[in-house]
Chains A and B, each alone.
Chain A
Amino acid sequence: MKNKLKFLLQLNKLNEMPRAYWRMRGVKNPETVAGHIFTLLLMAWIFAREGRSRLNLNKLMEMAICHELTAICTGDTTPYDNILPKNKKGKNEILKRWPLLLEKHKKAIFKEDFKKEEKAIAKIVSSLDHSFGKEIMKLWKEYRSKSSPEGQFLSQLNVLAVLFTGLLYEKKNKKFSVAPLWEWFLQSSDNPLILKIGEEMKKEFYPPVKKK
């Protein structure tokens, strides 16, 4: 029991950890990592029961909880971490688009991040009993490597969850553009259900202007 409480205390750090991408983009008081996990959990719960989805909803929700636990050790990371220049102008220029990189660079960054996060998740669960720890590691790995239908679906739903939060920020602040996240969504999504939700979001956030 003591180990589980220790684990819970570790997870609590995510309640206070602001999401790095929104900070980079200049959002004031952005959502925390825990807030993002909650949004993703809600989306999984609401949408995965739609249509002909044959996903294991329990597994999907547990996976959503586990998907960002590594941030406890690594801090919240973004795909821009290795490519942003120090000067503000150059930084803002790069942040206008989803990262433009050669395939070999994308592969190398993915491999390096995966290794770091794998170590982090092993450390985070090390105090838990073996089977619980193993279960968390398995769920994280399936998500990160997209090696199961739930992992594939959740990684696409995660993009949608970030886009959804971005759309809320864009609605509040017209100077904030969510364009790079649409770019990410259009590269990352091929699940028909995810694409359908994306279409609905488009209608909701960019309603057609009524002619007078």
Chain B
Amino acid sequence: MEEKKFYLTKKGLERLKKEYEELKSLKIAKVKEGSPQTWHSEDLSSEYFSFQDDLASLEKRMAEIEAIIDNYEIIKIPSKKDQGRVGLGATVSLEGEGKKGKVNEFMIVGTLDANPLEGKISSESPVGKVLMGLKVGDEAVIESPIKMIYKVKKIKYSSF
């Protein structure tokens, strides 16, 4: 089975690498600190379990980041001829149905960079999926269960 590709902005990749280094230091410090005493083997202390849990979740997250770093692709600005269509990294201006002049904007990113409150939506979200590939003037219809119609007003690619 083909492994999943993770699409990231440069910033997103930097954030992940920083998190990985922090986790690595934390793990070293934890191991150095040592496991709590376990001399009553039939009655292990809650500190011991908590230590093991912490270590396991650190290692799990580190493995996840390693998997992403092994399979990432940086979102690049597409060539001039492809910039007329919505793709990863595009900022799309949309006009809602019957809302002349009311513009909503999203930047389309990979799942790991998405933060809708900041205006960055995932290309795998229902709205993101519908927008991908559209060009200026196209209508995006999302019907699930409320019908929403957006008209693509502008597509812009800039460095991120």
Instruction: Spell out A's residues near B (CB within 8 Å).
Output: 54, 56, 58-59, 79, 97, 100-103, 106-107, 109-110, 145-149, 152, 179, 182-184, 186-190, 195, 202, 206
Nearest-Cβ distance from residue B30 to partner chain A, whole angstroms: 13
Contact B127 A187 (CB under 8 A): yes
Which listed residue (B105, B124, B125, B142) contacts A103, Cβ 8 A?
B105
B21 contacts the other chain (Cβ, under 8 Å)? Answer: no
B70 contacts the other chain (Cβ, under 8 Å)? Answer: no
Contact A186 B145 (CB under 8 A): no
Nearest-Cβ distance from residue B21 to partner chain A, whole angstroms: 14
Give how many A-B residue pairs fall within 8 Å (CB-CB).
80
Contact bitstring B5-26, A, C-beta under 8 A = 1, else 0: 0000000000100010000000
Contact B104 A101 (CB under 8 A): yes
B114 contacts the other chain (Cβ, under 8 Å)? Answer: yes
B146 contacts the other chain (Cβ, under 8 Å)? Answer: yes
Given contacts A102-B103, A103-B91, A147-B15, contact A186 B144 (CB under 8 A): yes
B117 contacts the other chain (Cβ, under 8 Å)? Answer: yes
Q: Which of B15, B103, B127 has the most CB of A within 10 A?
A: B127
How far is A146 from B102 in the complex, measured between Cα atoms in Å? 28
Contact A59 B96 (CB under 8 A): no
Contact B106 A103 (CB under 8 A): yes
Contacts of B93 in A (CB 8 A): 102
Contacts of B142 in A (CB 8 A): 186
Which listed residue (A106, A179, A195, A206) contacts B126, Cβ 8 A?
A195
Instruction: Enumerate 25 A-B pairs (CB-CB under 8 Å) in ascending A order.
Output: A56-B60, A58-B53, A97-B99, A100-B102, A100-B103, A102-B103, A102-B119, A103-B105, A103-B106, A106-B105, A107-B119, A110-B115, A147-B15, A152-B112, A182-B146, A186-B142, A187-B106, A187-B116, A187-B121, A188-B116, A189-B125, A189-B126, A190-B111, A190-B125, A202-B144
Contacts of A186 in B (CB 8 A): 125-127, 142, 144, 148
How far is A110 from B119 in the complex, measured between Cα atoms in Å? 9
Contact bitstring B82-116, A, C-beta under 8 A = 1, else 0: 00000000010100100100111111000110111
Contacts of B118 in A (CB 8 A): 106-107, 110
Contacts of B103 in A (CB 8 A): 100, 102
Please name the residue on chain A nearest to B95 by beta carbon. Answer: A100
Contact A188 B125 (CB under 8 A): yes
Please name the residue on chain B nearest to A107 by beta carbon. Answer: B118
How far is A147 from B18 in the complex, measured between Cα atoms in Å? 11
